[in-house]
Amino acid sequence: MLQMMKERYTTKKYDASKKINFNIIEELKQILHLAPSSINSQPWKFHFVSDEKIKNELAKVSYFNTEKVINCDTVVVFNVYNDITLFEEQIKKHLPEGAFNYYLTYIKPLPEAEIKAWMSKQVYLALGVFLIACAQLQIDATPMEGIEIDKYDAILNQESYTALVAVAIGYRDQEDANQPDRKPKSRLPIDQIIETI
């Protein structure tokens, strides 16, 4: 696992000729389905976009990530509920009483912006799981907040959810200069960020 983390990196350039095996895509979907969230709230929806027409539309509204979106195999869009009422209907229907009561007691009284921030944090938990899964499966990945969210939502025709972050996945172009053997990872010293008590 440690070696895998040393080797994974944020891919800057994809080889458009290389495609991800269908079974690996299905496995990634199952992994996202099993991602953890606070009180098992699951305030999310994920789009796996491999259709070239839709990818090209998304590419145009992905700022400096345009080429990554065009050349990667699939773009996975991580969405969060933007309608709190619909989210509450979901958790009331699917969560045990204790978990739902936790939400009513500790989350629901918060201002709307804080509730939405709490939901977004759950999506980022799934994002972390997804990036590790890609590394384990030897799939290159690029998490991208550099997207025009309202335009992503329009392209994906969604109203109850809103895009939060997207991940380009595929296989690196061998000329990608961001590979760790060409551009070593830069991290703060371990003793500066980890304290053992």
- Give the residue numbers annotated as catalytic, written as ranges: 12, 68, 145
Query: Does residue 170 sit in helix, strand or coil?
Result: strand
Amino acid identity, residue 179? Q
Burial class for 166, CB neighbours closer than 10 Å (0-12, 13-18, 19+): buried
Side chain identity, residue 108: K
Q: Residue 58: in which H helix or E strand, if any?
A: helix 52-60
**What are the residues whose beta carbons fall under 8 Å from the beta carbon of 120, sequence distance 6 or more?**
80, 164
Q: If 0-12 CB within 10 Å is exposed, 13-18 middle and 19+ buried, where does residue 165 land?
A: buried
Tokens linked to 4: 């895998």
What is the maximum alpha-carbon separation in the chain?
Answer: 54
